[in-house]
Every structure is written in C-alpha cells, then in structure tokens.
Chains A and B, each alone.
Chain A
C-alpha cells in the first residue's frame, strides 16, 4: 500500500518535471529576442530538474536503499546555474543583441568597461 503511494508520488514528480521542461523548451523556441529566450531555461534548471530529483529521492526510499545525494546535486546546480545565465546575458549586452540598458547613475556597467576596440557597435558609431 505505502509502496504504491510512494511510486505514485514519484510518477507525479516525474510528470511535473517533464511538464516544466517541455514548457521551457517551448519558451525557448517561441520568444523572439535573445534576452527573452534566456528566461525560459531557468524554469528547466529549477523546477524541472528539482522535480526529477525529488522523484529520484522518493523512488530510492520506495525501493529500500534510501538516498539523499540528490540534495547535493540540487545545491550544486543552484550555485552554478546563475553563472552561465549571467555569462550569456553579458554576451548579449556585448553584441548589442538587446536594448541598451539604462545607465546606473553616473557609473557605467562593468560589461561596457572595456577598451575602445571592444565596444559594442552601437556605441562605436
């Protein structure tokens, strides 16, 4: 009885993860600008992968040999995922694929703090 319930919970988590992964992929295809597209995969790397890992934990407890290693995967993923998103956003800013962001007070954004030759086309013109 309890086994069936646990299996049911694991399957539900897998379905939730699959749904959010699918929606993330749809968003990636559907949006028109690179900066908007950047938002779709964050869902996959948070709730998508998170639900898969919860399913894995439940399944491991249901089949006897409990495992909590997945918590570690989640922790490392949550630490590393923002860094790649940040790098992609910086590349878009450099290539002027997006609107130029408003200036931060009297300072400039660190990405634009470069040599003359590396400035995005918009500013060089």
Chain B
C-alpha cells in the first residue's frame, strides 16, 4: 500500500503546491474544482517525473515557512532603509560596493533561491556567479563595510537555506 502510494504520488510537495495553485487560479473552492485540482496534482508530477534530474528530497517545511517570513520582514525593513537613502542622500555620497560572497551551498536550486532573496531585498542585487559556482557577486547600494555585509548575508540567509535544502 505504501509503495503504491509512493508510485502514485512521487512528489507530495509538488502535488500539494499544484492543488493550491489551481484553487487560487480558479479563485473558487467548489467540489468540482478541488477534484480537478487533485487530478492535476497527481497527473502532472507523474508526467513530468522523467525530467527530474534527481529524486526530490524531503523538505523541512517549518523552517521553509520561517525563512519566507524572515525574507518578507527583511524586504519591508530594507524598503524603508532604501526609501530613506533615496530621499535624503545625494547620489555621490552613497558608498556602493561589490560584495563577494563565498558559497557553502552547492545545489543550483538553493543558489537560485539565495540569489533571488538577495535581489528582492532592496539595496542589494545579485549580479553574477563565478564560473564554478562557488562565489556569488552582489552589488550593494550603500555598504559601510562590504566584508561584514557579505558575512551577514551568509549568516542570515545561506545558513538557513543550507538547513532547509541540503
């Protein structure tokens, strides 16, 4: 029974996500909609299974939700910081710097999420990866100490992502 279930739903997280997205897309929770959502949530992972590069690993969902809340909080705080910078600081007084962040995370998906979080936080934009994927290049609009800021990004985001995905 358990093996049959694993064959039928090889990627439970994707199935649940598809069901939620379908319900949001149709914008109404009727029985017919939910049934169709469940159907899609089962069929789409089965059809796309051959294209996965490796088997999905179990995610730490609680830590993932925590990470999302931390990211949203940081986005709001740095929005206010950058607003203050834009309104009060002349352009030539901004100490904009490149930050070079050595990466401990290896999986491309994790690096993509880290780079996305950094870009979504106003004040920092992730610009590039080194050719072997071991360094991330970030541009910061105003940084008093580039080394400390790079270390803070590592401590705050990368450590958590490493716990969730790797």
Contacts and interface: CB of A to CB of B under 8 A. Distances in A.
A and B associate: yes
Contacts of A108: 130-131
Interface residues of A, number: 45
Interface in B91-145: 91-92, 94, 96, 98, 100, 102, 115-116, 119-132, 134-135, 137, 139, 141
A47 B134 CA distance: 31
Contacts of B119: 42, 81-82, 85-86
A28 B58 CA distance: 42
Give the secondary structure class of A's interface.
Answer: helix
Contacts of A33: 91, 96
Contact of B91 (A30, A85, A111): A30
Contacts of B94: 31, 36
22 contacts: A26-B86, A36-B94, A38-B125, A39-B141, A40-B82, A42-B125, A43-B82, A45-B120, A46-B122, A69-B24, A79-B116, A82-B119, A89-B125, A89-B126, A89-B127, A90-B127, A104-B130, A104-B134, A104-B137, A108-B130, A109-B137, A111-B128
Given A43-B83, A46-B75, A46-B122, 14 more contacts: A33-B91, A39-B139, A40-B86, A42-B122, A78-B116, A81-B119, A82-B126, A86-B127, A89-B125, A89-B128, A98-B139, A104-B130, A105-B135, A107-B131
